[in-house]
Amino acid sequence: MSIVPQDDPEPVAIESTAPPNRQPTVSSAPSATTTGTRGRRHQALMRLRGDIPRSVHLGLAALGVLVLLGGWALLATSMGSESFLLPTPAEAWAAGVDLYRSGDLMADLSASGRRIAIGYGISIVIGVAFGVLIGSFRSAAAFVEPQVALLRYIPASALTPLFLLWLGIDEAPKIALIVVGTVFYNILMVADVARAVPKELVNASYTLGAGRLTILRRVLLPYSWPGIIDVARVNLAAAWLMLVVAELLAAQQGLAFRVVRAQRFRQVDTMFALLIVFAAIGLVSDLALRALRNRTAPWSEGSR
């Protein structure tokens, strides 16, 4: 659509003196006939990186879960004579309810949860302490980083026999395994978070009269906080992995122990119920950490 003055049906005197390419100073309605369209229209839902309404978002999420469950149910009912190998969702649910009624589920959940809480808690504390040091002081990085890089490549699960030998078969080796299996990742990832604190922010703090300890405590740590929560979120999966390794080997209680026990009695439906419990715990803890981040660091880029 062009608005060149010459095309105007009613040119006024002032326009004739205006340069040919300039829009008239006295504006008149542009020609109102549509002769075509320009640009390509996109489907709202499939626009690259486009926003979608929240209702659509939730609907699609629910649909995704339903598709997963439906596929499972379809597969399970088509197993025929081998159907005991793959229970239907309803059978798994029933087995889960039974497990809950017997009291075993809650006992296992609390045993496993306790191990994760202690083991991963220790790992996070060590990870934050060393990570922030490495990320803040070049000297600390030079000293600690090669050690961590080296130790990180020892598969933690390979240490299980050693821990059993050293620490017995009670809680200690299980907690140790969770710590060792996650702490190096926590250290290195927290170090990256601490390194990402802008140098200008540290410099500004110095010029405001802050000492090193003050900057560490009151600038580096708060700035790194949302990043630390993200690290904790990512590595929590590894903590559960190590828990399973520990409980498979020696335990009288715990979710993974219960899976092994169910296998021994060929209770595949119970095994599936337990797997869903694992998935649910992961989902809930992920959402909880995300909520914590949004709550405690609303200023941060990834929060909202």
Partner 1 sequence: MTGVIVEAVTKSFRAGRGVDPLVALDGVDMHIDAGELVSIVGVSGCGKTTLLNIVGGLETATAGQIRIDGDLIVGPGPDRGMVFQGYSLFPWKSVTQNIAFGLECARWPKARRQGRIDELLGVTGLTEFAGHRPDQLSGGMRQRVAIARALAPEPDVLLLDEPFGSLDAQTKRVMQDFLLSVQARTSATILLVTHDVSEAIYLSQRVYVMASRPGRVLEEIAVPFGSVRGPAVLRDARFLDLREEIEELLHAPSPLASSSSEQAIPAQAAPPLPPPVPL
Rounded Cα distance between 70 and 86, Å, is 14
Least distance from partner 1 to the Cβ atom of residue 230, Å: 16
Q: Which residues contact 112 (CB under 8 A, 6 or more apart)?
A: 243, 247, 254, 255, 256
In the bound state with partner 1, the residue whose beta carbon lies nearer, of 146 and 211, is 211
In the bound state with partner 1, the residue whose beta carbon lies nearer, of 78 and 214, is 214
Q: Which residues bind partner 1 (CB under 8 A)?
A: 1-4, 21-23, 198, 200-201, 203-211, 214, 218-219, 222-223, 225, 297-300
In the bound state with partner 1, the residue whose beta carbon lies nearer, of 7 and 170, is 7
Classified as helix, coil or strand, 160 is helix
Q: Which amino acid is at 130?
A: F
Least distance from partner 1 to the Cβ atom of residue 224, Å: 11
In the bound state with partner 1, the residue whose beta carbon lies nearer, of 129 and 201, is 201
Classified as helix, coil or strand, 18 is coil
In the bound state with partner 1, the residue whose beta carbon lies nearer, of 60 and 208, is 208
Least distance from partner 1 to the Cβ atom of residue 30, Å: 9
In the bound state with partner 1, the residue whose beta carbon lies nearer, of 31 and 252, is 31
Least distance from partner 1 to the Cβ atom of residue 301, Å: 9
Least distance from partner 1 to the Cβ atom of residue 10, Å: 18
Least distance from partner 1 to the Cβ atom of residue 295, Å: 13
Residue 72 · residue 38 · CB < 8 Å: no
Question: Around 196, how many Cα atoms within 13 Å sit in the side-chain half-sphere?
Answer: 13
Classified as helix, coil or strand, 232 is helix
> Can you spell out the DSSP letters for 24-76?
PSS--PPP-------S----GGGSTT----HHHHHHHHHHHHHHHHHHHHHHH
In the bound state with partner 1, the residue whose beta carbon lies nearer, of 218 and 266, is 218
Furthest C-alpha separation in the chain: 102
Classified as helix, coil or strand, 244 is helix
Least distance from partner 1 to the Cβ atom of residue 32, Å: 15
